[in-house]
Amino acid sequence: MERNYWIHRISYIAEIAYPLLDNNYLSIGFSDFEKEGFIEKARGENGWQDMEQEFSETWGSLPRTRYQLWNFIVEMKKGDWIIVPTNGAFSVCELLEDEPIMIKDIKDVEIKNWNGEVVHRDNDGYLRDSNDDYIDLGFARRVKIIQKDISRYDYADTNLTSRMKVRQTNVQITDLEESVIKAVERAHKNKPIRFRNEISKEIIPIIRSIIQTKLNPDKFENLIKLYFERIGASSVIIPPKNSPKKVDCEDVDIIATFDLLKTIYYVQVKHHSGETSSWGVEQISLLKELKHDRLDDGYTKVYWLLSSSEQFSEECINYAKEAKVQLIDGNAIASMLLDAGFFGVGDIL
């Protein structure tokens, strides 16, 4: 279903318009036109001409605001999403019906003000204030609230924030569909826009790609060594690849010691793309078994399989859970490097 997106302000007669929205009715003014047959004429074959004639006869002029009433009565369709700006926030609702309704014909809810007081109606159903004057709310649309009181600061992007500054009552913003949907998703998941998060989403795939395509395995190991040094390791070594002291397939690429934390990281590093198999877990697991059998030196041992790839095989994941080996993929590595400020590594790599 094709859907349009709109901004619609209800700050006019706010003390009644907002309680109406809480009861799933979006409202607009123009009560001078709240009369039998007006909606049908406006939505008829000669709708625009008939509406202009009504304005000419009732107000004696054709103000630009007539476009706002036209949008509300004719252009807004069932299924459209309406953004309702408030002070520092906005709500998003969906139109449930194609046709609007006159305020006086709302029968399924009591119309109340902000104080919870029922608004007086005359014998014909028109809203009246305490002085018995007409209250200038003329028409309404039935809606479903999708997300209420979304913080502009936390969830609206630049384009949506800017567009909500428009002063007219309503305007179509279908070109900002993605901005609206993402704002609702962020609010629903309680994931506000943060500079670091947005930078990460853009940069992390680039960092991972550079690691995979520009670095060779030795440079990748050196990058991980620099990472541990950057985050405060007391010592970081890359053991010789063909040491005669190795037992069977015992293998470790980096050993990082944090004396203050009494912790040693044993890291198996894999530089490739695609899927990482369980072989790296097997290598680091043997080392773990051997270390477990040796004299306790008071240090906690942590075992990582770190891969530049995008994912690990199911066998690798299951094996790692059983062996208590931490798996770290290319995206996680990129995020770790970003957090550690790796841009200062200089020309070493």
* Whole-number pLDDT of residue 36: 92
CATH number of the structural domain 196-345: 3.40.1350.10
Question: Could you give the CA distance from residue 228 to residue 221 in angstroms, rounded to a whole number?
Answer: 11
Domain positions in the chain are 5-193, 196-345
Q: What is the pLDDT of residues 310-324, one digit of tens each?
A: 889 999 999 889 888
- β-bridge partners, 276: 312
Q: Does the pLDDT value for residue 244 go beyond 80?
A: no
Q: What gap in Å lies between CA 218 and CA 241, rounded to an integer?
A: 11
Q: Strand, coil or helix: what is 263?
A: strand
The per-residue pLDDT for 204 is: 86
Over residues 85-95, the mean pLDDT reads: 95
Q: How many residues does this entry show for the chain?
A: 349
Taking the C-alpha atoms of residue 319 and residue 189, their distance in angstroms, rounded to an integer, is 32
Pairing of strands 311-312, 275-276: parallel
pLDDT at 1: 67
Tell me the three state secondary structure of residue 270: strand
* Cα–Cα dist 126/264, whole Å: 77
**Mean pLDDT to the nearest integer, 206-231:** 92
Q: State pLDDT tens for residues 259-281.
A: 999 999 999 999 988 888 888 88
